[in-house]
Amino acid sequence: MAAMRFATISEAEQFDGKMNCQVKTNTVIEIEEGLPSTYTGIEDRFEVGDTLELTYEFGDSLPEFYLSLEDVKRGIPVTYSYVGGDDLLEAISAPKRSDILVFEDDFSQTSFGKDYIRIEVIGHPELRLTRYYKSDWQGIASGFIAAAHAAQIYTLDCRTVSGDIDNTLEALFELSTNENYGE
C-alpha cells in the first residue's frame, strides 16, 4: 500500500488547498504615555466579519511547502511560511511528533498536522489553528504592531473550500519516510 501511495504522490506532484476564514473577533490593545486603549481593529485592515484566505501548497518534485494567510479583499498578506529544497527534506526527515511535521529555520517555525496548524514568523502574527469538525477549523492569531506599543489578537472560523489537508499531510509524511528521495 505504501509503495502504491508513493507512486500516486510522484504522479500528482502537487497538493494544494484553500480555506476561507471568517474573522470572528479583532482586538488591538495599545499603551501610549502610560494609558491603555483598546480598538476593534487597524485602519485599512481586515475587520470582524471579513474573510481571510488560508492556502497551502506542497510540491514533491522540488520539494517545497508554502502556507499563507491573506486578506484578499485588500491584497495584503497577513502571515506566511515557505520551506523548500534541502531545508524541507531536513525538516521532514526528523519529525518531532508522529502526527505533526515541524519546519523551522532562523526566522520561522511552522507546524502542520492532521488537526493542528501553526505559523510563527518573525515580524508577523503567530497563527494557531485546530480542527474542530471534519474540514472546519478554528484559530487564534496574535502579534505585536511594530510602529506602536500595541498588539493585535483575532479569532478565525475557517471552512475548507478546496483541497484535502489529510492527503497533503499524508504525502508529506510519505516523503519523510522515503529513504531514497532525492537520490
Q: Which residue blocks in the chain are alpha helix, DSSP H? A: 2-12, 85-93, 165-177
Residues 103-148 have pLDDT tens digits of: 777 788 888 888 999 999 888 889 999 999 999 999 999 999 877 8
Tell me if residue 160 falls in helix, strand or coil.
Answer: strand
Residues 29-45 have pLDDT tens digits of: 999 999 999 999 888 89
pTM for the model: 0.81
| Confidence check: pLDDT of 9 > 50 | no
Residues 47-105 have pLDDT tens digits of: 999 999 999 888 766 678 888 999 999 999 998 888 776 767 666 655 556 677 777 77
91 DSSP 8-state letter: H
Report the topology of domain 2-177: Porin (2.40.160)
Q: What is the domain partition of the chain in residue ranges?
A: 2-177
Residue at grid coordinates 520539494: 63
Angle between helices 165-177 and 2-12 (to 10 degrees): 110
